[in-house]
Structure 1
Amino acid sequence: MKAAVYTQYGPPEVLKVKQVEKPIPKNNEILLRIKATAVNSGDWRLRKADPFAVRFIFGLIKPKIKILGTVFSGQVESVGKDVKNFKVGDFVFGHTDMRFGAYAEYKCLPENGSVALKPANISHKEAAVIPFGGVTALHFIKKAKIKPGQKVLVVGASGSVGSAAVQLAKAFGANVTGVCSSANIALVNSIGADKVIDYTKVDFTKNGETYDVIFDAVKTISVSRSLKSLNKNGIMILSAAGISEMLQGLWISITSNKKVMTGVISHQATDILFLKELIEANKLKPVIDRTYALEQIAEAHAYAEKGHKRGNVAIEV
Structure 2
Amino acid sequence: MVRALTQDSSGWDALEVRDVPDPVPREGQVLVQVHAAGVNPYDWHYAAGQPLIARPTLGGLTGPRPPVRGADLSGIVAAVGPGVTAFAPGDEVFGFGASGTFAELALAAVDRISRRPAELTHVEAAAVPMAAVTALQFLRAAGLTAGQRLAITGAGGGIGHFAVQIATAWGAQVTGVCSTRNAAMVRELGASDVVDYTREDFTAGGRRFDVVFTNAGRYPVRELGRVVVPGGVVLTNDGSKEGLLGPMPDLVAAPLVARFRPYRVVNVSATESGEDLAVLAGMVADGALLPIVSATYPLDHAVDAIRQVAGSGHARGKLVVKLV
Shorter-chain TM-score above 0.5: yes
Letter in structure 2 aligned against 1:301? I
> Shift in Å at residue 232 of structure 1?
0.9
- Higher mean alpha-carbon deviation, 296-305 vs 220-229, is at 296-305
Aligned equivalent of 2:320: 314
Asked if 1:136 corresponds to 2:131, the answer is no
Indicate the SS of the match to 1:247: helix
Aligned equivalent of 1:252: 257
Cα distance in 2 for partners of 1:165, 1:100 equals 27
Q: Is the 8 A contact 1:28 1:81 kept in 2?
A: yes
Root-mean-square deviation (CA, aligned residues, Å) is: 1.4
Aligned equivalent of 1:268: 273
1:223-302 map, 5 Å: 223-240=221-238, 242-302=247-307
Indicate the SS of the match to 1:212: strand
> Shift in Å at residue 253 of structure 1?
3.7
Letter in structure 2 aligned against 1:120? A
Aligned equivalent of 1:194: 192
237 and 290 in structure 1: CA distance in 2 versus 1, 3 angstrom threshold: same
Q: Is the 8 A contact 2:75 2:122 kept in 1?
A: yes
Q: Deviations over 1:173-203 (max 9, x none)?
A: 1000000111111111121111100011111
Q: Is the 8 A contact 1:249 1:262 kept in 2?
A: no
> Shift in Å at residue 138 of structure 1?
0.5
> Shift in Å at residue 58 of structure 1?
2.0
> Shift in Å at residue 20 of structure 1?
0.6
1:22-61 map, 5 Å: 22-61=22-61
> Shift in Å at residue 16 of structure 1?
1.1
Q: 2:123 aligns with which of 101, 108, 125?
A: 125
Q: Is the 8 A contact 2:99 2:107 kept in 1?
A: no
- Higher mean alpha-carbon deviation, 56-65 vs 140-149, is at 56-65
Q: Is the 8 A contact 1:69 1:102 kept in 2?
A: yes
TM-score (norm 2): 0.93
Indicate the SS of the match to 1:255: coil
Taking only the aligned residue pairs, the percentage that are identical comes to 31
> Shift in Å at residue 216 of structure 1?
0.3
Indicate the SS of the match to 1:142: helix
> Shift in Å at residue 103 of structure 1?
1.0
> Shift in Å at residue 111 of structure 1?
1.7
Cα distance in 1 for partners of 2:99, 2:264 equals 32
| Structure 1 stretches of at least 4 aligned residues deviating more than 3 Å after TM superposition | none
Cα distance in 1 for partners of 2:259, 2:272 equals 27
> Shift in Å at residue 15 of structure 1?
1.8
Cα distance in 1 for partners of 2:279, 2:22 equals 31
> Shift in Å at residue 249 of structure 1?
2.1
Q: Is the 8 A contact 1:252 1:259 kept in 2?
A: no
Structure 1 spans left out of the alignment, 5+ residues: none
Aligned equivalent of 2:9: 8
> Shift in Å at residue 110 of structure 1?
2.3
